[in-house]
Amino acid sequence: MNKLIQLSQNWHYRSSANLYSSFPKLAKNSVVKSKTLKVKKLQLMNILNFWEKKQDLIEGAIISAYYDTVVPKTHRIQQLFRQNTTKHPNNFIVGVRYLGNKDDDLRHVITYHVKIDVLKKTISEIEKTINLMDSSFNNEINNKDLERLENNPTTLFKNKSDAKRFAQTIIDVSYVEKFDVYLEDIDNTEEKIVSLYDLKTNTEDSSYLLDVLRKLGINKTREDILDRNVVLLDRDDLKILKEKGSFLVYAQSKDLFDLKKEFNADVSPKELSELPEPNNEPIVGVIDTTYKELGYFKDWVEYDNDFEDGIDHGNEVTSIIVAGPKFNPGLEDNCGLFRVHHFGITRGGRESSFRIVRRIREIVEAHPEIHVWNLSLGRPFSTNTNRISNEAAVLDKLQAEHPDILFIIAGTNLDNGRSKEEKQFNRIGSPADSVNSLVVNSVDVDGKAASYARKGPVLHYFVKPDVCYYGGDITHPLVTATSLGEKSVMGTSFAAPWIARKASFLMDKMHFSRETTKALIIDSASGWLTEKKDPKYMGYGVVPIDIRDVINCKSDEIRFIIRGISQKRITYSDGIPVPKDSLNKFPFIARATLAYFPTCSPNQGVDYTDTELSLQFGRIEGETSTAIKSIVNDNNVEKEYIPETDLRRWLGKWENVKVKAEKFTSRKKGKGVLGKGYWGLKLVSSERLYGYKHRPFNFAVVVTLKNLKGQNLNEEFKQLCIYNNWRVSDIDIDQMLQANLEGNTEINWTDDIDK
C-alpha cells in the first residue's frame, strides 16, 4: 500500500476578460420581431396595474420571467429592470424555480422584486426599442443587424453604450417566454413554515415581515420568525394568506420532524464492559434525541438534554461514534475511540421543525471547538424539488460562515406509513438536502442500496446522498448500546455515525481541512467506475471500512492531495511530472475529486449555490499550463455552446463536488505525451450573482493515478515532483497518531499538513 502524498507549490492566478463586455448577440439563427416586444410590453403593463393597487401592502412589484428551458446565467435578464449602471437585475431576484416534472421538460421561472418607477422605465425602454425596430429594422432584427450596429453605433445612437442597451433589451426579451405574477397554491390544512419573498427592505431586522403580515391581518411576533423572511403560520393564518397574499409566497413546508423508532430488534441485556479512560480523543457533536447516561460510556459522553426522557435513538447513534467496532467487529475501521458531546433536543416522534432548526443553530454557534457534527434526524416528507429546505439552508449557511465545521447527515429512511404519493417520489427528506454537508445513505452487507433507502438528487441535479455505508439490514443488523443493553438496529441513522467517525479522524486526528476530508471520503467511495451503482441511492459509492483505505492507495496507484485558495477567476498549477514508460507514454488512468464550500442563496431557489468552480485535470497540451486535455471529455465546454441542462446533468455545473474519473478496463492503453510532457490542474470560478467580486474560498483536490501495468511508480513520481520544485510530503498515519497520543504535539510537515 502506498501512502498519500501531499503536493504543494505556489498556485498561479489569472483574471479573465469581462465575458459580458462584448456587444450582445442573439442565439444562433434567431430573429426577433417587434410584435414579440409588444406582447411582452403589454404583459408588463398588466403587472404594473396589478401592483400599483397594492402599494399600501408592499413597495414595488414582484414579477416572474418564464423561460422555455433551463437557462445559464448569461441568458438571465441583463438590461430589463436595471435600476442604474451599477444595480444589475440579478440584485433584484427573490426566487428561482423550475416548472415541469421531468428533467427533459424543466424550464426556469425567475422572480424579481423591482421598484414601481423601475418597472415603468422598463416599459418605456421597450416602447422605444419597438419604435426603433419598426422605423430602422423593418419590424425585426437578427445578428447581422446587430453586427452592423456594433460597427456603426452612431448612425442611430449617441454612443456605443446606448446601442448596447438597445441590443441587450432585445436579447432579454428574446429569451423570456412571458412575464406574469406567480401565485403559489397554499395548503392551509395544517401548520406550515412559510418562506415569503425576501424583499430586502431591512437586511437584519424582521420587523418589515411582521408589518406586511399585520397588514394582511396576520399577527405574529419575532418568536415566530425563523429567518428574515421565514415564518411559522397556523391554519387560520394560512387561510388569510391564501385569500389575500398568495403572490407573496415563495415556498411552504410542514412544520414537522417525525423521528420514529428505527427498525429495531429485541434488546439483549448483555452486560457491557467499561471503556478505558479517555486520552484527549477528539469530540464529535451529536444532535439527536435525549441521552440516557450509561456507565459504559461514563467519561466518554458529555450531554445536555432539553427534555428528561425520550426514545433510545440518541444513545444508539452516540454508541457507534464512541466505540462502534466494539459491538460490530466486522466494521473495524481503525479510527479508535471518540468522545461525544451529545445534545438531546427532541424526545422522538412528532416535533416542530421550526424549533429543531433553531436549536441546531444555537448549539453549533455556541460550540466552535467541535468540528464534526452528526445529524441523524430527518423529516419523513420528500424534499421540495424547487427549493432547499429551511433546515438544510441553515446548515449550509453555518458551514459557509465557519470554515472548520462539517455536518454528517443521515439520508433519511423510507417510511411505510407515508401516503402512496410520497412513496412514489421517495426522495430524501430534510436536512439531507444540505449541499455543503456530507450526506450518507445505507447499503446492506453486500453493498447494495438498503431496502429502506430514499433517493436523490436534490434540486433535480445536485448529487445527494454523497456516499453510503453499512447501516444494517434484516439479516445483518448493526449492534448498538442503549440504556437497557445491546440492541440490533438498521437505518441511515446508523450509517451516518460511521462516516462521522472517519471525518473526525481525518479532521481532528490527521488535521486535514474539511475540504480535504470531504474530498478524500468521496474519492475513496467513487473508485474506478468498474461497478454499476445507482447515484440516486448510493451517491458516489460505498466508503471503505478501514480508514487507511480512505487515506492511502494500492501499490499500483499514486494518490496525492493538492489544496489552495481560489483567489481569482482562474487558478492553475505548474506542470505535474507524471512518470512515463519505455514507450514514452503515460501508463495511467486518472481520477480527480474536488470539494469546496460555497456560500448559498435560498432566495435563488434551484440556482442555490453562488459560486461554480469547474475542474480540469489532464495532460497540458501546449506551452501554457492552462491548456489542458482533460481526462474526461469536457474540453469543448469552453469552446462551444452546450445546453445548460446537459451541463448540470452530466458535468455537475454549480455543484460543490466534482468527480472526474476514467473507467478502468483491461483494454485501456497509455496516453501519448503532449507539449512538454506535463500534466496540469486548472480551476475556473464563476459568481452567479453579478455585482459580487470574486470571493476567495478554500478548495481541495484528491488525485489518484492507476498504473495500467500494475507497476509501483510512487517513489519515481515523488522524485520527479521534487526535481520540478514541488514540495512533497508523505502522509504518515502512524506518525500522526503517535503525535496525538503523546499530547497532541503538532507535526510540521514540509508544508504544514493541509491546514
Q: What is the pLDDT of residues 611-642, one digit of tens each?
A: 999 999 999 987 776 789 999 876 555 555 68
Q: Is residue 750 part of a domain?
A: no
Question: What sections of 614-671 are H helices per DSSP?
Answer: 644-650
Q: Is residue 736 part of a domain?
A: no
What residue type is assigned to position 502 of the chain? K
pLDDT band at 416, cuts 50/70/90? low
- The model's pLDDT over 257-293, given as tens digits with 9 standing for 90+, comes to 655 555 555 556 566 677 889 988 999 999 999 998 8
pLDDT band at 188, cuts 50/70/90? confident
Question: Do 289 and 356 meet the contact criterion of CB atoms below 8 Å apart?
Answer: no
Question: Do 35 and 134 meet the contact criterion of CB atoms below 8 Å apart?
Answer: no
Residues 473, 530: one domain? Answer: yes
Residues 104, 203: one domain? Answer: no
Q: Is residue 187 part of a domain?
A: no
Q: Cell numbers at residue 142, please?
A: 437578427
Residue 310 has a pLDDT of 81
125-142 mean pLDDT: 94
658-686 mean pLDDT: 90
Residue 750 has a pLDDT of 47
206-221 mean pLDDT: 88
Kindly report whether the global pTM for this prediction surpasses the value 0.85. Answer: yes
Which 8-state DSSP code applies to residue 89? G
Q: Is 480 helix (H, G, I), strand (E, B) or coil?
A: strand
Residues 380, 487: one domain? Answer: yes
Question: Do 509 and 282 meet the contact criterion of CB atoms below 8 Å apart?
Answer: yes
Residues 535, 617: one domain? Answer: no
Percent of the chain with pLDDT over 70: 90
Residues 534, 602: one domain? Answer: no
Residue 261 has a pLDDT of 54
Residue 529 has a pLDDT of 74
Residue 330 has a pLDDT of 95
Residues paired with 704 in a beta bridge: 559, 591
pLDDT band at 455, cuts 50/70/90? very high
Residues 506, 523: one domain? Answer: yes
**3-class secondary structure per residue, 347-360:** CCEEECHHHHHHHH
- The model's pLDDT over 563-605, given as tens digits with 9 standing for 90+, comes to 999 988 899 988 999 999 989 999 999 999 999 999 998 888 9
440-464 b/e with 16+ CB inside 10 Å = b? bbbbbeeebbbebbbbbbbbbbbbb
Alpha-carbon distance 428 to 240, whole Å?
A: 31
Q: Is residue 8 part of a domain?
A: no
Residue carrying the nine cell digits 478502468: 664
Residues 462, 517: one domain? Answer: yes
Residue 673 has a pLDDT of 92
Range of the domain at 118: 31-180
Residues 38, 166: one domain? Answer: yes
Q: Is the pLDDT of residue 422 over 90?
A: no
Q: Is the pLDDT of residue 547 over 70?
A: yes
pLDDT band at 115, cuts 50/70/90? very high
Please give the tally of structural domains in the chain: 4
Residues 419, 474: one domain? Answer: yes
Domain boundary residue, one of 121, 149, 180? 180
Residues 130, 198: one domain? Answer: no
Q: Is the pLDDT of residue 226 over 80?
A: no
262 or 391: whose pLDDT is higher? 391
Range of weakest confidence among 109-118, 180-189, 246-255, 312-321: 246-255
State the distance between the two ends of the chain, measured CA to CA, in whole angstroms. 25
Residue 519 has a pLDDT of 98
Domain boundary residue, one of 156, 180, 204? 180
- Mean pLDDT value across the chain: 88
What residue type is assigned to position 70 of the chain? V
Percent of the chain with pLDDT over 90: 59
CATH of the domain at 409: 3.40.50.200
Q: Is the pLDDT of residue 423 over 60?
A: no
Domain boundary residue, one of 480, 513, 547? 547
Q: Is 164 helix (H, G, I), strand (E, B) or coil?
A: helix
483 or 182: whose pLDDT is higher? 182
Residues 672, 690: one domain? Answer: yes
Q: Is residue 341 part of a domain?
A: yes
Question: What sections of 88-159 are H helices per DSSP?
Answer: 116-136, 143-151
Residue 265 has a pLDDT of 54
Residues 683, 542: one domain? Answer: no
- The model's pLDDT over 93-106, given as tens digits with 9 standing for 90+, comes to 999 999 987 777 89
502-508 mean pLDDT: 97
Q: Is residue 186 part of a domain?
A: no
Q: Is residue 25 part of a domain?
A: no
Alpha-carbon distance 686 to 485, whole Å?
A: 53
Which 8-state DSSP code applies to residue 505? I
Residue 397 has a pLDDT of 94
Q: Is residue 620 part of a domain?
A: yes
Residue 752 has a pLDDT of 47
Question: Do 617 and 628 meet the contact criterion of CB atoms below 8 Å apart?
Answer: yes
Q: Is the pLDDT of residue 707 over 90?
A: yes
Alpha-carbon distance 306 to 533, whole Å?
A: 41
Residue 692 has a pLDDT of 60
What residue type is assigned to position 94 of the chain? V
Q: Is the pLDDT of residue 518 over 90?
A: yes
- The model's pLDDT over 675-701, given as tens digits with 9 standing for 90+, comes to 889 999 999 998 888 656 677 889 999
